[in-house]
Amino acid sequence: MTDQYTFRNPVTAYPEVSPPKQHQPEPGLDAELMPKADHGEETYHGTGRLEGRKAIVTGADSGIGAAAAIAFAREGADVVLSYLPEEEEDASRIAGIIEAAGRKAVKVPGDLKDSDTCRELVDTAVAVLGGVDILVNNAGKQVAQEELGGITDEQFDHTMKTNVYAMFWLTKEAVKHMPAGSTIINTTSIQAYNPSPTLLDYATTKASINNFTKGLAQQLAPKGIRVNAVAPGPIWTPLQVSSGQPKEKLPDFGKSTPLGRAGQPAELAPAYVFLASAESSYVVGETLNVNGGNPTP
Ligand code: NAD
Ligand code: MG
């Protein structure tokens, strides 16, 4: 069986994605993505690295969050899945995969731009799973605009709320419940250091997430809670077809990386598992770049 341990040429390990031009309204559905994204459904092989852990993953219905959620379950964790109500179809599919791995999947739809929804998400996780020891802040909003003037105050506000405020609210609530040994993993981006001119508001949030991670990591380390980040490069997910990229750029998505292709969500999952598991015990405040080779500071 091919799994994440199978040695392959990384240039050709996954099919080259040359996506046709397409558009979906936000937040975009994985069910309608062409071509299909790979979340490790057929390949992720768990080895008990998260046995008995209790995880919250935001944006767990699709893309990178879905790949992390599947991997966590196959490594032995129960998972609370956060997503938007309009993503029920995607979330149900991922929950089914988690249950097939013999783990609990708790679906909690809600809009994380609202602070009460964030607090309730954590409280539900604590009530239903009996605690929380992994928090993955992964939900994100990305809408490309050619001009600064195209970014409305509403877009700016919603991007900040989804990417930065929700991380703050969720983390603040979760740490109240987290025992030593817990881990927090934030999804940042190559955009944190290398901003595209069309993603000003989004890239600003990703720099904030990286900075928050490194500061909070120092504050929580003495309590035994490790905070780290994953910084993906171009990964094939619904975010990219729901205004995340100008439509005409989609066919070349990811081709300018040294590996010459976009990444698949499945290729991110091992980074999240590593940072969530005890084997990364001395890794604190780190940003793990998974980006096909683009240089980072
Ligand atoms: P995705 O669309 O599959 O996942 C994003 C998820 O965010 C959605 O599924 C949705 O459930 C959630 N979300 C958005 N707004 C929300 C809200 N208001 N309330 C609750 N949930 C909300 O796309 P993805 O690419 O897997 O994105 C996951 C993370 O990865 C994001 O933080 C994104 O910025 C980051 N990222 C993606 C790429 C990439 O190329 N795809 C690169 C770097 C970073
Ligand atoms: Mg989604």
Does 65 reside within a domain?
Answer: yes
Question: Residue 17's pLDDT is what?
Answer: 81
Query: Which residue has a Cα nearest atom 9 of ligand 1?
Result: 59
Global pTM exceeds 0.95: yes
User: CA 91, 191, 149: angle at the middle one, nearest 5?
Assistant: 95
Evaluate whether residue 38 is within a structural domain: no
Pocket mutation for ligand 1, best pick of 24, 57, 64, 202 (most atoms within 8 Å of C-beta):
64
**Residue 118 is part of which domain span?**
48-288
Report how many domains make up the chain. 1
Instruction: Judge whether residue 123 has pLDDT over 80.
Output: yes
Query: Closest ligand 1 atom to the C-alpha of 265?
Result: 26
Q: Is the confidence at residue 1, as pLDDT, over 80?
A: no
Give the model confidence (pLDDT) of 50-90 as tens digits: 999 999 999 999 999 999 999 999 999 999 999 999 999 99
pLDDT over 90 at 12, yes or no: yes
Q: What is the pLDDT of residue 193?
A: 96
**Calpha distance 103→69 (Å, rounded):** 11
Which CATH number does the domain housing residue 56 bear? 3.40.50.720
Element (H, E) at 212: helix 200-220
User: What per-residue confidence (pLDDT) applies to 122?
Assistant: 98
Q: What is the pLDDT of residue 21?
A: 87
* pLDDT, position 107: 98
256 alpha carbon – ligand 2 mean position (Å): 25
Residue 10 within a domain: no
Inside any domain, residue 31: no
| Residue matched to tokens 């129960």 | 78
145, 288, 29, 198 alpha-carbon torsion, rounded to 10°:
10
Indicate whether 8 belongs to any domain: no
Q: 274 lies in a domain?
A: yes
- Most informative mutation of 239, 243, 256 for ligand 1 (most atoms within 8 A of CB): 239
Could you tell me if residue 128 is inside a domain?
Answer: yes
40 is a domain residue: no
Q: Are 8 and 208 in contact (CB under 8 A)?
A: no
